[in-house]
Each structure stands twice: as structure tokens, then as C-alpha cells.
């Protein structure tokens, strides 16, 4: 074997290892630093059903909407590599654009009747809260910008807010076991369709992302 | 030796980079939201479903009987809609004769009473009827005293009540064309109930005349075809005394 081949083999292995890390960052954005430990030492745990159904079969529900409280619960465990560990928690909205869904609408699974006006993505409201009120917009209903891939920041990582302070935007290292009021997040969902949209079955996905980006 | 050192160094660097990449914090969980918007078309009728006209006085024959507010209709809809009334019976043309008074042997006594002798008046006018080509597009005209205008308020009649009425017929709201419809809404939320297209007060009138030929009876052609018993039969014709019934259906459908 030629000496150059000795160099090529580990180089190729290195490329494969690096390539293996790529796809996982596609939705949530690439982690830019490594001040916190990765999975499985750190973890985002979803201790609730991964499916939320809204069924509108009564006129009053169309007008007043449906609220599903605490439908999603997220628990975080973030262990540090060093004292600069800080993280962000963000939720993206996605409507399966690969199926041809218009960028601002829910994906249509089936339609009832004659209409063709699908609901827009800003129809969904979410409210995030926890015991310490750490989310940036704690306990307030928010709507997504009606564009596939838009997001709402629950916790950002602009500056480090250590755990244990029970303040807004706590993003330092910690776990739901030791700081449950800061590392547990409950999410309520609300949809008030009104009478604008066509009857049918619609769907979208929410991606909750725990990542360190700065 | 130098190349071996280079190889080891490169492998070490590679592992360090890869290790850092795997060690970075990133985790994701997903929730799928499903929304089932089921179409709702509700027509509520809070009034009795039986309306009786008893003609036992001369004045009733001459002036007719009007039943004000005999039917109240309320609409809830999540989709664009049309509403129409259709008079029907066993044959879809004449009232059903339940029983006959007298011997019924007079050749001028007619048992075939046209369904169109029934007149309707709706409280709120039709707001969407560009496709309408009939004499009238709804039943919003006030009941006129004699001399009557046949065709003004006469009910649409059909043997196939669930087939969409043609453009030549009357609708209460919306019409035969897809551009003629009322938007989704409810009498609960559309302002004052008495001037809303989601709330209708329906009056009924029957004018037999004397002799009882039903002088107002006509279809909705332009001009209307008279259906009074003399025009439809022969001079001297009159209604055979008896008990007659017919059915008025109010049909609320998604715009089409």
C-alpha cells in the first residue's frame, strides 16, 4: 500500500463521521457551540401524546373555538460541559410542503363539500407556561406567522440566565428533576376557525427544538 | 515514521471534531395537529308544523285567510348556502284530497287544486339572485289585496322537492347559480334577528274567491301562467268542497 493511501483511509472515515451528524440538524438548526452536553446526557422529553385532534362538529365550537389545555408537556435535562452552557427552546410549524401544500396553509387531507379555502397557519394558537413563568411570553396565546417553517421562541439563548433564579428565560444548565418549575413546559392549543374556511380534514406538525446556538 | 505520525495526528483531529459534533446539544420532539372541520347546515323551525285553513264563512272565501308568522326559520351554517321552499304532494302538482263533502257529481266541481294556490311571504328579501329569470326571485312582496297579481307570492311546486329549483323559480335566499348564495353564519350572531338573512318569519295566505277558483294561483313564468280553476279547466269550474292537504318543505343546502 502506498503511503498516500494510509492518509486517505482515516480522512475518508472522518468525512463519514462528520456527514453522519448532518441530517439531524435539518429542522432545528445546527448547534453552533458545545458548552452543553449532547444527547443522551441532555435530553428533551415529551411526556404526552404526540397527536392533538380538533373536531368541529357543532356551530358554537366554530364560533367560540376549541382549547386543549396541557396537551403537550416537555421536560428538559441539560447538563453542562462548562459554565457557559446555555440553550434555546423553539417551536417550528411545518405543513408538509413536499406534498404541494401552499406555504401559508394547513395541509389538506380530505375536503368535505364544495369549498377550496384551506385554513391558514396562523389559525393555531399556542400558550406555553411553567411554574416559574420562564417562557419569553409566558401564559400568553401566540400565533405563528402564516409561513411554513416559521417559529416561536419559547426560551432564547441571547444571554445566560442561570437555573434556580426562577426568572424569565432561564436557559442555564439544569434538569426538570432539580428545577421542575424552570425545566418543565406545558403547552395549550387553541383553534377558533370561524366560518371562513372550507370543511375538511387538515393537518400540520409542530417541531419542538432544544438546541444551543450561541 | 513521519507519515505514521501524520496519520495518527489526522485521525486524532478527526475523532476530536466528530466527538465535538456528536456532543453538541440538540434534541427534537414532534406533535401532529389534526383539525376536522365538519360542515354544519342547521335549519331550525320553532313553530308548529301543521297550519290549518278552514273556510266556513263567506268572508273567508272572499278575502282569504292569512296566517301571519305561522312559520319561523332560523339558519346556522358553516358553509355558503341556499334556502328554498317547495310545495309538494303525492303527485307534486295538486293538493291531496283527503275527503270530499257532498256527492261530488257536479261536472264543474274540480278536485285538482294546484299547489300554487298557496301564497308565501318571507320577512327578509333574497339578497343573491343574479341567476334568477322567473317572474319573481323570492316571496318578499307583500300580500296584495284585490285586484291580485297572480305569480307574485305563489309557492314553487315540484314532485322532486330535493332537486335544486330551476333559475325560473323562487328561492328564499340564494339562487340556482353558484354565484348566488348566502355566506356562512348564524341567526345567533348576525345582529338583530328581525333583519337578518339567517332568520325568517313566513306568512301564508289562501284566497279561494267565490266561487272558489283561487284567483291568485299562477306559476313563476314570465309572464305567469294563470292556474286558477277557470283558466286551468273551463268556465264554471269551482273547487270541490272537502279536506285537502299539501306539504311545504324548507330545504337548506350548501351552495351549488
Q: B216 lies in a domain?
A: yes
pLDDT at B2: 54
Q: B69 lies in a domain?
A: yes
| Residue A64, Ramachandran bin (φ over 0: left; ψ between -120 and 50: alpha; else beta) | alpha
Using the Cβ of A93 and the Cβ atoms of chain B, whether some distance falls under 8 Å is answered with: no
Cβ within 8 Å of B, A 52-71: 52-59, 62-63, 71
A192 vs B164: CA distance, rounded Å: 33
Q: B17 lies in a domain?
A: no
pLDDT at B26: 82
What average pLDDT does the segment A73-79 reach? 95
| DSSP label of B116 | G
Cβ within 8 Å of A, B 6-25: 6-7, 10-11, 13-15, 17-18, 20-25
Residue in chain B lying closest to A46 (CA): B29
Peptide bond into B223 cis (omega under 30): yes
pLDDT values of chain B reduced to their tens digit, one per residue, 256 residues = 455 655 555 554 444 444 444 467 888 899 999 999 999 999 999 899 999 999 999 999 999 999 999 999 999 999 999 999 999 999 999 999 999 998 778 899 999 999 999 999 999 999 999 999 999 999 999 999 988 999 999 999 999 999 999 999 999 999 999 999 999 888 888 765 557 899 999 999 999 999 999 999 999 999 999 999 999 999 999 999 999 999 999 999 999 8
Question: Is the pLDDT higher at A15 or at B1?
Answer: B1
Cβ-based contacts of A56 with chain B (< 8 Å): 35-38, 78
Domain of B84 in residue numbering reads as: 41-254
pLDDT at A16: 39
Q: B138 lies in a domain?
A: yes
> What is the domain count for chain B?
1
Q: B181 lies in a domain?
A: yes
Interchain contact, B28 vs A208, CB within 8 Å: yes
pLDDT at B8: 54
Using the Cβ of B31 and the Cβ atoms of chain A, whether some distance falls under 8 Å is answered with: yes
Cβ within 8 Å of B, A 127-186: none
Interchain contact, A203 vs B33, CB within 8 Å: yes
> pLDDT band for position A13 (50/70/90)?
very low
pLDDT at B5: 53
Q: Is A189 helix (H, G, I), strand (E, B) or coil?
A: strand
For residue A69 the three cell numbers come to 389545555
Q: B15 lies in a domain?
A: no
Question: Which residue is listed with cell 330545504?
Answer: B251
B18 vs B29: CA distance, rounded Å: 24
Cβ-based neighbour number of residue B197 at 10 Å? 21
Using the Cβ of A121 and the Cβ atoms of chain B, whether some distance falls under 8 Å is answered with: no
Q: B13 lies in a domain?
A: no
Q: Which is it for strands B119-122 and B247-254: parallel, antiparallel or unpaired?
A: unpaired
pLDDT at A73 over 90: yes
Q: B4 lies in a domain?
A: no
ipTM score of complex: 0.82
pTM for the whole structure: 0.75
pLDDT at B22: 46
Average pLDDT, chain A: 86
Cβ-based contacts of A188 with chain B (< 8 Å): none
Amino acid at each position: 500500500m502506498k503511503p498516500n493511501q494510509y492518509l486517505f483511509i482515516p480522512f475518508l472515515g472522518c468525512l463519514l463521521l462528520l456527514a453522519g451528524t448532518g441530517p439531524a440538524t435539518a429542522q432545528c438548526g445546527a448547534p453552533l457551540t458545545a458548552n452543553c452536553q449532547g444527547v443522551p446526557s441532555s435530553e428533551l422529553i415529551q411526556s404526552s401524546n404526540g397527536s392533538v385532534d380538533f373536531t368541529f362538529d357543532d356551530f358554537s365550537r366554530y364560533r367560540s373555538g376549541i382549547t386543549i389545555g396541557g396537551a403537550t408537556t416537555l421536560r428538559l435535562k441539560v447538563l453542562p460541559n462548562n459554565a457557559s452552557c446555555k440553550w434555546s427552546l423553539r417551536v417550528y410549524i411545518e405543513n408538509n410542503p413536499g406534498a404541494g401544500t401552499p406555504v401559508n396553509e394547513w395541509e389538506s387531507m380530505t375536503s368535505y363539500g364544495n369549498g377550496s379555502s384551506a385554513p391558514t397557519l396562523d389559525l393555531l394558537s399556542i400558550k406555553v407556561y411553567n411554574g416559574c413563568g420562564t417562557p419569553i411570553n409566558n401564559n400568553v396565546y401566540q400565533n405563528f406567522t402564516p409561513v411554513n417553517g416559521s417559529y416561536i421562541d419559547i426560551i432564547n439563548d441571547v444571554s445566560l440566565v442561570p437555573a434556580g433564579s426562577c426568572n424569565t428565560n432561564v436557559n442555564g444548565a439544569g434538569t426538570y428533576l432539580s428545577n421542575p418549575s424552570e425545566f418543565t413546559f406545558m403547552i395549550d392549543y387553541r383553534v377558533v376557525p370561524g366560518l371562513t374556511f372550507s370543511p375538511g380534514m387538515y393537518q400540520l406538525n409542530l417541531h419542538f427544538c432544544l438546541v444551543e446556538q450561541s | 515514521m513521519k507519515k505514521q505520525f501524520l496519520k495518527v495526528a489526522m485521525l486524532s483531529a478527526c475523532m476530536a471534531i466528530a466527538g465535538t459534533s456528536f456532543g453538541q446539544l440538540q434534541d427534537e420532539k414532534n406533535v401532529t395537529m389534526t383539525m376536522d372541520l365538519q360542515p354544519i347546515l342547521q335549519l331550525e323551525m320553532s313553530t308548529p308544523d301543521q297550519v290549518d285553513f278552514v273556510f266556513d264563512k263567506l268572508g273567508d272565501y272572499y278575502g282569504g285567510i292569512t296566517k301571519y308568522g305561522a312559520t319561523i326559520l332560523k339558519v346556522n351554517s358553516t358553509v355558503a348556502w341556499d334556502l328554498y321552499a317547495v310545495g309538494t304532494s303525492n303527485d307534486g302538482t295538486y293538493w291531496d284530497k283527503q275527503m270530499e263533502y257532498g256527492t261530488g257529481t257536479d261536472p264543474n266541481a274540480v278536485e285538482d287544486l294546484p299547489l300554487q294556490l298557496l301564497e308565501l311571504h318571507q320577512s327578509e328579501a333574497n339578497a343573491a339572485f343574479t341567476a334568477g329569470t322567473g317572474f319573481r326571485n323570492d316571496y318578499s312582496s307583500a300580500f296584495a289585496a284585490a285586484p291580485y297579481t297572480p305569480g307574485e307570492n305563489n309557492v314553487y311546486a315540484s314532485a322532486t322537492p330535493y332537486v335544486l329549483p330551476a333559475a325560473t323559480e323562487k328561492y328564499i335566499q340564494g339562487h340556482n347559480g353558484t354565484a348566488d348564495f348566502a355566506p356562512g353564519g348564524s341567526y345567533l350572531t348576525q345582529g338583530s334577528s328581525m333583519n337578518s338573512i339567517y332568520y325568517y318569519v313566513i306568512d301564508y295566505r289562501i284566497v279561494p274567491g267565490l266561487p272558489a277558483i283561487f284567483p291568485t294561483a299562477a306559476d313563476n313564468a314570465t309572464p305567469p301562467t294563470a292556474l286558477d280553476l277557470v283558466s286551468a279547466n273551463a268556465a264554471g269550474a269551482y273547487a270541490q268542497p272537502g279536506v285537502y292537504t299539501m306539504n311545504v318543505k324548507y330545504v337548506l343546502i350548501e351552495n351549488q
